[in-house]
């Protein structure tokens, strides 16, 4: 109705996925019309939680709203053609969108009187750019803390649980053994590439399965002349590096398609794996930039607190202010401080290594496309 998957991605930031709100609403309207007609308000998880906290309907913010397939990523308003293609009277049921820094309201008396709290919900994003390139690969979302830029989000199912699975298969169920195996192998893994999908993957859309290849050469010649050979299995050190390099090369390749520059200025690693120095070294090599970490590896709660403080400050000033004003002058003494975990670019051979990873990323995407054509789910 809106011109196809790529046209929809260019208008709303991403193609239509089953998980997106618009397709879910469409399905409800078609299959359970009575429930749809009887629905007064449609919220996202984030705005629903905010509604509970303020005791009324909270607006969907423009950043989360970009994941619905209903919002124009340029105007940051709901598109009438997308609404009409989804279900009738949808604009009334969704309501107005609001900037991500806007105050939703004040805390409802119930929470003030009872003193009960709630668990913050955070969205982990991958990168920031001021020149997004909507594609079929990822999601383009307005940056909630900088209205002039956009976020690129890549969604994967095979992350930490798949790493744990390979650890259990090849590293005696030990992270210490896993890290030692990773460090036994050189960057680029001798051209060994692995595609490990313990769960049906989102990006690329591939079913469960492991696929292994050896690329014969990493010269700067034509990509078509770089041949690959399929393998049944690698030795344990190569399996471990193929997994870690493969995850990061996939992120890099698909992020570039969405407009993120490579190499980026820096990467800030968060989450549990950000305390793993061996994995961070591989991350820096694949992307060709320094990697930083924060004092809190599991930083979702910190991010939620910062977002709340930023919204309060914007409200107090009566206008949008940079989020840096929240912690200006004091970040080095708080859990906001960052440290350089892995440098990159100052050593001899770094540029050559980055160039070789660039070739390997291109080859990986080529093989990935062949796998999608053979096994993938058409959307």
**Per residue, what are the HEC states of 62-121?**
HHHHHHHCCECCCCCCECHHHHHHHCCCHHHHHCCEECCCCCCCCCCHHHHHHCCCCCCC
| Every domain of the chain and the residues it spans | 5-121, 160-294+341-375, 300-336
Q: Which CATH class is domain 160-294+341-375?
A: alpha beta
Sign of the torsion formed by the C-alpha atoms of 267, 18, 35 and 65? positive
Q: 212-247, pLDDT tens digit by residue?
A: 999 986 665 566 678 899 999 999 999 999 999 999
Mean pLDDT across the chain: 88
pLDDT at position 221 is 59
CATH fold match for the domains 5-121 and 160-294+341-375: yes
Which residue from 340, 265, 271, 264 is spatially nearest to 303, judged by alpha carbons? 271
The DSSP result for 18-39, as a single string, is: TTSHHHHHHHHHHH-HHHHHT-
Which residue from 85, 227, 157, 139 is spatially nearest to 377, judged by alpha carbons? 157
Q: 272-304, pLDDT tens digit by residue?
A: 788 899 999 999 999 999 999 987 666 777 888
**Per residue, what are the HEC states of 302-331?**
HHHHHHHHHHHHHHHHCCCCCCHHHHCCCH
Q: Which CATH class is domain 5-121?
A: alpha beta
Residue 148 has pLDDT above 60, yes or no: yes
The DSSP result for 42-55, as a single string, is: ---HHHHHHHHHHT
Say which residue, 149 or 216, is predicted with more confidence: 149
User: Does 263 sit behind a cis peptide bond, omega within 30 degrees of 0 on the bond before it?
Assistant: yes
Say which residue, 178 or 339, is predicted with more confidence: 178
pLDDT at position 329 is 65
Which residue from 174, 182, 354 is spatially nearest to 278, judged by alpha carbons? 182
Residue 35: φ, ψ to 5°: -65, -40
Q: 92-131, pLDDT tens digit by residue?
A: 999 999 999 999 988 888 777 654 443 332 234 468 888 8
Q: How confident is the model at residue 265 (pLDDT cuts 50, 70, 90)?
A: very high
């Amino acid at each position: 109705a809106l011109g196809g998957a790529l046209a929809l991605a260019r208008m709303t930031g991403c193609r239509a996925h089953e998980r997106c709100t618009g397709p879910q609403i469409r399905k409800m309207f078609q299959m359970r019309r009575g429930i749809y007609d009887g629905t007064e308000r449609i919220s996202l998880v984030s705005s629903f939680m905010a509604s509970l906290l303020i005791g009324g309907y909270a607006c969907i913010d423009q950043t989360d709203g970009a994941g619905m397939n209903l919002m124009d990523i340029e105007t940051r308003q709901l598109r009438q053609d997308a609404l009409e293609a989804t279900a009738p009277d949808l604009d009334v049921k969704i309501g107005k969108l609001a900037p991500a820094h806007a105050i939703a309201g004040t805390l409802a008396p119930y929470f003030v009187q009872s003193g009960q709290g709630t668990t913050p919900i955070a969205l982990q994003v991958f990168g920031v750019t001021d020149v997004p390139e909507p594609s079929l690969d990822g999601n383009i979302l307005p940056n909630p803390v900088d209205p002039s830029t956009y976020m690129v989000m890549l969604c994967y199912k095979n992350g930490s649980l798949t790493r744990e699975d390979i650890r259990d298969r090849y590293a005696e169920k030990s992270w210490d053994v896993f890290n030692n195996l990773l460090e036994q192998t050189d960057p680029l893994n001798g051209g060994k590439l692995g595609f490990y999908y313990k769960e049906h993957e989102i990006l690329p859309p591939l079913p469960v399965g492991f696929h292994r290849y050896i690329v014969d050469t990493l010269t700067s010649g034509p990509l078509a002349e770089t041949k690959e050979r399929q393998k049944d299995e690698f030795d344990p050190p190569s399996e471990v590096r193929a997994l870690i390099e493969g995850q990061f090369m996939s992120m890099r390749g698909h992020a570039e398609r969405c407009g993120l520059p490579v190499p980026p200025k820096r990467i800030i690693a968060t989450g549990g794996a950000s305390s793993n120095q061996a994995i961070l070294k591989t991350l820096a090599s694949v992307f060709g930039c320094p990697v930083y970490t924060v004092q809190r590896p599991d930083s979702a709660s910190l991010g939620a607190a910062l977002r709340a403080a930023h919204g309060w400050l914007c409200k107090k000033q009566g206008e949008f202010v940079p989020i840096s004003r929240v912690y200006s002058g004091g970040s080095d003494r708080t859990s906001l401080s960052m440290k350089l975990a892995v440098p990159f670019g100052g050593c001899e051979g770094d540029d050559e290594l980055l160039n070789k990873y660039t070739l390997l990323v291109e080859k990986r995407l080529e093989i990935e496309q062949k796998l999608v054509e053979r096994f993938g789910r058409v959307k």
